[in-house]
Chain A
């Protein structure tokens, strides 16, 4: 049965909202309307615009085109505080509690109850306890927020929103860090809130949750509305299909992948486990096994937090967590403790976050490129041979067609795509046998993506074993010989290039592994 208590007047409406970041359009004419007391689930792939939409709704982004209506009145929030005061609150994916303060102090942060110039702690504690009791949570309000488990911290955030008298509650992937029991309790709380008439916008890509809770499901793709469907008129398969259904743009530009299953196996991972200390899920990676061959491109698909980056970190000696299982590189079992050992063994990695983990803003283009291969450009044991370094960089700049004013230009003056080529080139100069690419086309414009694809294909043809993680399915389907799908730290499916479809991958990625 559709829970539709007041069908005549939507509580909150979004009409034709567009949001741009520089040249990138994150939201394009998105509209939605939610009835009072309804639970609308919002789903979409990574980068579909879910979070941007939520940030506009909760007043975090104040500049956008289009209109927001609350109870039929046009509104434009001046900030999060303004939105809260009108009854719209958000529970973020990352919780925003001050860990050193008590639960009550967190709930009343910024609007503390004051009597004669002093904090009225007893009063705040009493009221906090009342709200927590409503949420079926019996923790004393004097407890420090930092001592709570994640699930309880989330309840405190919800209590805070309720104490503000919120009618609209936005929840951004609330169960991503919860155990099963905590999720079940959250389910109960959400149902109860909905019965009390609180309107909930619920972002998630976990199908089972969506189908348990939602009245209607809104699907976003590439910043646009795809459709809004009542829950009982659809099924998880259809939703997964709607989330990804789009045309491939690269077919004309790049020749189809050659079948490369005959190379020698060069990397083998057997039953790899990676511990996740102090987290209910316990393992960042659980029982991962696969083999990769020279000349092969192996893709890793999965949603945010599925464990793609965590896996690459293990292979590159960048993890300080406890590991179990075997990693075999070129026939030798290895356990790297520092990236330099991985590099010496012939592995190179291009990290996901170029700005934070890849670039040196204080070094110029040449220094950025040559950094990892300086040892081979030294004259004697110590001095860098400047000429040799320059020559090597120049040939790399020519090979990869990096557009730069000169070798001594600031790295920041290059476009995103050319910066990425520099980072890839830096790794290539170490002459690796295995190349790990973590989301190599993130934040790169369309033209440069094509060039990076060609480069990756070329490297594989030259006999490199390429492992590539990406949040963009079309690019994995385009490039990879095989695609492995991760979900919550486990391998849930493996497809050959011929078998793989976006829909099948998305189903495996949203599957809750048993």
Chain B
């Protein structure tokens, strides 16, 4: 029982994954007919790459910080590895159109090293310059992607036509990108490593302590700066790994789109997996399942909304994060489900705003999927939402006054 309760988040996610997949299968035959392709190429492969840098985001979050730079770090690492491979070919290292293994290794190692360098700079900004983590990594969020674009342009210009994108035609690269289980294996190895690190090593225990109470950690003789260096370097390192894998997938560095909003997806996966943004709480198992769950839901929506499904990703991630955090807080808080969600006049304005938002979402999505009566149905949906929420508000208010009446009666002698 204890065990069930401790891993509550994981169980909920596991059930959620199966449910979402099952439900989508009911509406979409392709899910069963092309089961293997769907599960591996559409869900597990992207989920593994997302999971890899979500692990990094989770370590930073557990240590009480935040890393907003992973999306741009992905773009930078993809650019680095592709440029190095291209340069090696250009310098005539390739034989029969294939680079020797040591060239590929050097390219990958150098890219991973750059990840650690970026993490070191973050740590310096945070611990020595004393910037808030949010600001330090926000600077990299905008800066690193720009750096990747400049790198690609300048190197391509110096050896041929200037271009933002860099293509790599190497069989090894292709082979890695083609096989979904390579990404999965890297993901699982990293997850296992991190799991052992967090649960069974001094470093891991100190990370939880740092996230739980930084001042008390320092007073306990913990070198908090070194821990932060590990956390931010690991985050940038995992983003670099993910960047390499993204590059192998399309055999290209495309800094304008690769890893865009990746940081938000990573934080979302960590939070859905049960990490607390206040720090000190989170498990690797939760993050792994969080990444898979996120990817499953995104793919399910892609299947259900045939046209322009990519455009829905942002909305889904936003909604899931809000729901996951709200759910965690509700199960932890004293009030629990007795909380008044729409109190007083502010409740009314919240109901109005939510209904307007639902109307917009419903009508525009239905219009996009070609429904004739989209505007009318959208309005109807928004109206229904308003009614449901009003009923909810009224019932909750009545229940509250009833409870306080009962409590008052019980206190009388």
User: Cβ of B213: which chain A residues have Cβ within 8 Å of it?
Assistant: 356-357, 359-361
Whether B98 sits at the interface, judged by CB under 8 Å, is: no
B290 at the interface (CB under 8 A from A): no
Judge whether A378 and B212 touch: CB under 8 Å.
no
Contact with B along A371-412 (1 / 0, CB 8 A): 110110010001110100000000000000000000000000
Query: Which residue of B is nearest A375, CB measured?
Result: B202
Within 8 Å CB of A343, what residues of B?
221
Selected interface stretch from B71-79, B101-109, B203-211? B203-211
Contact B205 A339 (CB under 8 A): no
Do B216 and A359 have beta carbons less than 8 Å apart? yes
Asked if B371 is at the interface of the complex by the 8 Å CB criterion, the answer is: no
| Cβ of A360 to closest chain B Cβ, rounded Å | 4
Given contacts A316-B219, A318-B219, A362-B279, 11 further A-B contacts (CB under 8 A): A339-B218, A357-B213, A360-B213, A360-B217, A363-B212, A367-B208, A367-B209, A374-B202, A374-B205, A382-B203, A383-B196
**Measured between C-beta atoms, what is the minimum distance from B276 to chain A in Å?**
8
Which partner residue on chain A sits nearest B62 by CB separation?
Answer: A362
Please measure, in the bound complex, the distance between the C-alpha atom of A348 and the C-alpha atom of B205, giving whole angstroms. Answer: 20
Give residues 67-85 of A contacting B (CB, 8 Å).
none
Contact check, A362 vs B281: say whether CB atoms are below 8 A apart. Answer: yes
Q: Which residues of B contact A339 (CB under 8 A)?
A: 218-221
A433 to chain B, nearest CB (A): 15
Interface flags for A412-438 (1: CB within 8 Å of B; 0: not) read 000000000000001000100000000
Contact B209 A360 (CB under 8 A): yes
Q: A359: which B residues are within 8 A, CB to CB?
A: 213, 216
Residues in A whose Cβ lies below 8 Å from that of B212: 360-363
B403 at the interface (CB under 8 A from A): no
Residues of chain A with a CB closer than 8 A to B211's CB: 362
Beta-carbon contacts under 8 Å, A233-282 to B: none
User: B339 contacts the other chain (Cβ, under 8 Å)?
Assistant: no
Contact A340 B223 (CB under 8 A): yes
* A357 in contact with B200 (CB, 8 Å): no
Cα(A430)–Cα(B219), bound, Å = 13
| Minimal beta-carbon separation of A410 from chain B (angstroms) | 12
Most buried by A among B203, B213, B218, B219: B219
B147 within 8 A of A: no
- From B200, B223, B279, contact of A386 by CB (8 A): B200
**What CA separation (Å) do A375 and B201 show in the bound complex?**
10
Residues of A close to B221: CB separation below 8 A: 338-340, 342-344, 372, 430
B58 CB, nearest partner CB in chain A, Å: 15
Tell me, yes or no, whether B215 is within 8 Å of chain A by CB: yes
**Which residue in chain A gives the minimum CB-CB distance to B279?**
A362
Question: Is B280's CB within 8 Å of the partner chain A?
Answer: yes
**Alpha-carbon separation in the docked complex, A372 to B221 (Å):** 7
In the complex the two chains form, is B202's CB within 8 Å of A357's CB? no
> Is the beta-carbon distance between A360 and B280 smaller than 8 angstroms?
yes
Q: Which residues of A contact B281 (CB under 8 A)?
A: 362
Which A residue sits closest to B215, measured CB to CB? A357
Say whether A357 contacts B201, CB under 8 Å.
no
Instruction: Classify chain A's interface size.
Output: 20 to 34
Interface of B is mostly: helix
Q: Are B200 and A371 in contact (CB under 8 A)?
A: no
Residue A349 at the chain B interface, CB threshold 8 Å? yes
Contacts of A372 in B (CB 8 A): 220-221
In the docked arrangement, what's the CA distance between A430 and B209, Å?
17
B130 to chain A, nearest CB (A): 12
Is B222 interfacial (CB 8 A cutoff)? yes
What are 24 sample pairs from A and B whose C-beta atoms fall under 8 A apart?
A: A318-B218, A338-B218, A338-B223, A339-B218, A339-B219, A339-B221, A340-B221, A340-B222, A343-B221, A344-B221, A356-B213, A358-B216, A359-B213, A360-B208, A362-B211, A363-B280, A367-B205, A372-B220, A372-B221, A374-B202, A374-B205, A382-B201, A384-B200, A384-B201
Give the distance to chain A from B136, nearest Cβ to Cβ, in Å. 21
Closest to A408 in B: B2
**Residue A175, interface by CB 8 Å:** no
Which residues of chain B from 185 to 244 have a CB within 8 Å of any chain A CB?
Answer: 196, 200-203, 205-206, 208-209, 211-213, 215-223
Q: Report the Cα distance A343→B212, complex, angstroms.
A: 21
* Interface residues of B, Cβ cutoff 8 Å to A: 196, 200-203, 205-206, 208-209, 211-213, 215-223, 279-281
Indicate whether A382 sits within 8 Å of B218 (C-beta atoms), given known contacts A362-B208, A362-B212, A362-B280.
Answer: no
Min C-beta distance of A89 to chain B, whole Å:
31
CB of B220 within 8 A of CB of A426, answer yes
**Contacting residues, chain B, for A383 (C-beta < 8 A):** 196, 200-201
In the bound complex, CA of A316 to CA of B215 (Å): 14
**Which B residues lie within 8 Å of A363 (CB)?**
208-209, 212, 280
Give the contacts of A316-371 with B (CB-CB under 8 A).
Answer: 316, 318, 338-340, 342-344, 349, 351, 356-363, 367, 371
Q: Which residue of the partner chain B has the closest CB to A351?
A: B219
Please give, as numbers and ranges, the residues of chain A lying within 8 Å of B205 by CB-CB distance.
367, 371, 374, 384
Q: Nearest 5 pairs between A and B by C-beta?
A: A362-B280, A340-B221, A362-B212, A360-B212, A343-B221
Most buried by B among A316, A343, A359, A382: A382
Cross-chain contact A371 with B218 (CB below 8 angstroms)? no
Cα A382 to Cα B193 with chains together (Å): 13
Residues of A within 8 A of B203 (CB): 382
- Report how far A359 CA is from B217 CA in the complex, Å: 9
Q: Which of B206, B208, B219 contacts A357 (CB 8 A)?
A: B219
The interface bits of chain A over 305-321 (1 if a CB of B lies within 8 angstroms of the residue's CB, else 0) are 00000000000101000
* Chain A residues closer than 8 Å to B200, beta-carbon distance: 383-384, 386
- Inter-chain CA distance A375–B213, complex, in Å, is 20
Min CB distance A436 to B, Å, is 11
Complex CA gap A362/B221 in Å reads 18
Contact of B219 among A349, A378, A382 (CB under 8 A): A349
Q: For the complex, give the distance between the alpha carbons of A386 and B199 in Å.
A: 10
- CB pair B209–A378 under 8 Å, yes or no, is no
In the complex, the answer to whether B202 meets A360 with C-beta atoms within 8 Å is no
Min distance, Cβ B164 to any Cβ of chain A, angstroms: 44
Chain A: minimal CB distance from B135 (Å): 20
Cα(A49)–Cα(B203), bound, Å: 45
Measured in the bound complex, the distance between the Cα atoms of B316 and A307 in whole Å is 55
* Chain B residues positioned under 8 Å from A356 (CB to CB): 213, 215-216
Residues of chain A with a CB closer than 8 A to B219's CB: 316, 318, 339, 349, 351, 357-358
Residues of B within 8 A of A375 (CB): 202
Please name the residue on chain B nearest to A383 by beta carbon. B200
Across-interface contacts of A316 in B (CB, < 8 A): 219
Cα(A384)–Cα(B196), bound, Å: 10
Chain A residues contacting B223 (CB-CB under 8 Å) are 338, 340
A residues near B206, Cβ cutoff 8 Å = 371, 374
Q: What is the bound-complex CA distance between A351 and B219, given in angstroms?
A: 8
Give the chain A neighbours of B220 by CB distance below 8 A.
339, 371-372, 426
Residues on A with beta carbons closer than 8 Å to the beta carbon of B280:
360-363
Note all chain B residues with C-beta closer than 8 A to A378.
202
Q: A326 CB to closest chain B CB, in angstroms? A: 23
Per the bound structure, the CA–CA distance linking A430 and B206 in Å amounts to 16
Q: How far is the CA of A374 from the CA of B222 in the complex (A)?
A: 11
A144 to B217 Cα, complex, angstroms: 37
CB-defined contacts of B222 to chain A, threshold 8 Å: 340, 371
**Distance, CA A339 to CA B206, complexed state (A):** 15
In the assembly, what is the distance between CA of A339 and CA of B279, in Å?
22
Q: How far is the CB of B64 from chain A (nearest CB, A)?
A: 10
Greatest chain B CB density within 10 A among A344, A371, A384 is at A371
- For B209, the chain A residues whose CB sits under 8 A away are 360, 363, 367, 371
**Cβ contacts under 8 Å, A384 to chain B:** 200-202, 205
In whole angstroms, how far apart are the Cα atoms of A316 and B219 in the complex? 9
